[in-house]
Chains A and B, each alone.
Chain A
Amino acid sequence: MTSATQQRPIADGLFTWPAGSPALLGSRCQTCDKVAFPAQGSCTACCSTDVKVEELPARGKLWTYTIQRFMPKSPYNSGETQETFKPYGVGYVELPGALCVEGRLTESDPEKLKIGMDMDVIFYPYRNEADGTEVISFAFQPVA
């Protein structure tokens, strides 16, 4: 990152940003201990509104996955065109003690993906806005 490049997170409150080691943010119900992602003001399990935002684990196991082979219609907004579109992986990663989070995967070769493999969350420039600002999103990457 150069100092000249502006960055913004794709959504406020989705992950800590800017931060030295950013993390996804979930909300834990103080009544039933269930975690929601993205963080929300009430619990989807028990209806309580007593929730606390917390950082989610950075590493987990691949729960399931697929590869998106064609370019989705709007609201998909990656800056790609039909010509530049590249298929991408999507999966759920089981974050211990929290929940499974759905995200794009950095790997798009199904031969290199296996249910149960270790995955790390990463934060990366997803697309550029017209003024050059980088929009930061999250993805999961197989642990090398």
Chain B
Amino acid sequence: MDVAIVGIGMHPFGRTPALTGLQQGAYAAREALKDAGAQWSDMQFAYGGSASSGSADALVNELGLTGLPFTNVANGCATGGSSLMSAYNAVKSGEFDVGMVVGFDKHDRGAFNADPKALGLPEWYGEVGMMMTTQFFAMKITKYMHDFGITNDGLARVSEKAFINGAMNPNAWRRNPIGLEEIQNGMMVSDPLTKYMFCSPSEGGVALIVCRADQVSRYTDKPVFIKGAALRSRRYGSFEVFAPSQALEQVPGPTVDASKAVFEMAGMGPKDIDVAQLQDTEAGAEIMHMAENGFCEDGEQEHMLANGETRVDGRLPVNTDGGCIANGEPIGASGLRQIHENVVQLRGQGGERQVPGDPKVGYTHVYGAPGISAVTILQR
């Protein structure tokens, strides 16, 4: 059974002091139901996730106690992608006709504060100051720049594009363009990455209604079909966040594995993709993920960025809603934001930031601790 997304809803990302994370999730859920012209009582199941705002299934207290099976998903930064994949499989199997995927979060300011014990790491690792995701991304891009000739200008261009796109997205957190020079001269967080090159923990909620393909006309005349969804974790030898050591011989990371799997599932290749949302925890991550997902060779990114090829009007628009850099990262919702944006783009509802040329196929990719990646391909 093919599976489609027939409704989308979002609570803007950023800071909303008046609402809890759960309330932002409920807002997104109501928006998605409205978008699909559906009732909460129509939902036969739900998958949801939140890292810092309590159990997602507490949403039933806001939306109504209908008795539906609501499963909490907790899979780090891949929580949204994992929730969607669970819903996709639930409908694909024929067990359910229609249901909801939802994610929300509300994090404290500042870098994520990881607990070594929760990740199976020794206490000393945090005590000496190595339990920082920011360090990992900085070290990964330092090596990548050394090996493949990416420059600081390339890094700054990714952030510049993110803020330009964010300014065109009413749901984004950062809505002011920032110039290349200001990005490069911003406070250094972890060399070579300045504060304008990192995403920050934030708040927000996203909900999607998924439905079996032969029933989409009940809800929408603009269905977007899930052509593939894949999740992979790290293999021995891939260079990952929170690793006290690393094998001498590297193997490709979970992004490469998940990407190959999803293209095979969809019967497509990178050339078929019209718009892509790629995990940009920081500017370097977007650059590396362009190659890891098969959209270019290692090192090609430098001239692609210089030529504006990943801008909204470029050859391969990347992170058209401003990505994590302009939206921040509410962990439970972040992966679903990417799907939301691709549905907006494939429906032609992107307004100022609409990708020209009537895009038909969209790609999403999340990556996070401790080395997991979830990808999807959507087609209208």
Contact = CB atoms under 8 A, between A and B. Distances in A.
B248 A101 contact: no
Contacts of B123: 11, 75
A91 B139 contact: yes
Contacts of B245: 26, 36-38, 92, 99-102
A38 B236 contact: no
A64 B142 contact: yes
B172 to A, nearest CB: 25
B190 A68 contact: yes
Given A94-B248, A102-B245, A76 B143 contact: no
A10 interface: yes
B113 interface: yes
Nearest to A9: B124
Contact of B124 (A10, A64, A68): A10
Contacts of A92: 139, 245-246
Interface string B176-194: 0000000000011111100
Contact of A68 (B129, B140, B192): B129
B131 to A, nearest CB: 6
A45 B116 contact: no
A57 B244 CA distance: 16
A125 interface: no
Given A70-B189, A73-B111, A76-B129, A65 B246 contact: no
Contact of A104 (B128, B146, B237): B128
A34 interface: yes
Interface in A88-144: 88, 90-92, 94, 98-104, 110, 115, 126, 137
A100 B243 CA distance: 10
Interface string A46-81: 000000000000000001111111101111111000
Contacts of B170: none
B152 to A, nearest CB: 12
Contacts of B124: 10-11, 14, 137
Given A65-B139, A69-B191, A37 B244 contact: yes
Interface in A10-32: 10-11, 14, 26
* Residue from A44, A66, A102, A137 having most chain B Cβ neighbours under 10 A: A66
Given A45-B236, A66-B191, A110-B191, A78 B128 contact: yes
Contact of B139 (A26, A66, A75): A66
B270 interface: no
Contacts of A10: 124, 127-128
Nearest to A127: B127
B135 A66 contact: yes
Contact of B191 (A67, A72, A103, A137): A67
Contact of B127 (A38, A45, A70, A76): A76
B122 interface: yes
Contacts of A11: 122-124
Contacts of B244: 37-38, 101-102
Given A45-B236, A70-B189, A91-B139, A38 B122 contact: yes
Contacts of A115: 142-143, 146
A78 B142 contact: no
Contacts of B122: 11, 14, 38
25 contacts: A11-B123, A38-B122, A65-B139, A66-B192, A68-B129, A69-B188, A72-B132, A73-B110, A73-B111, A73-B113, A74-B126, A75-B126, A75-B127, A75-B131, A76-B126, A78-B128, A78-B129, A90-B130, A91-B139, A92-B246, A99-B246, A100-B246, A104-B130, A115-B142, A137-B128
Top 10 closest A-B pairs, CB basis?
A75-B126, A66-B138, A64-B143, A37-B245, A100-B246, A45-B236, A11-B124, A64-B139, A67-B191, A10-B124
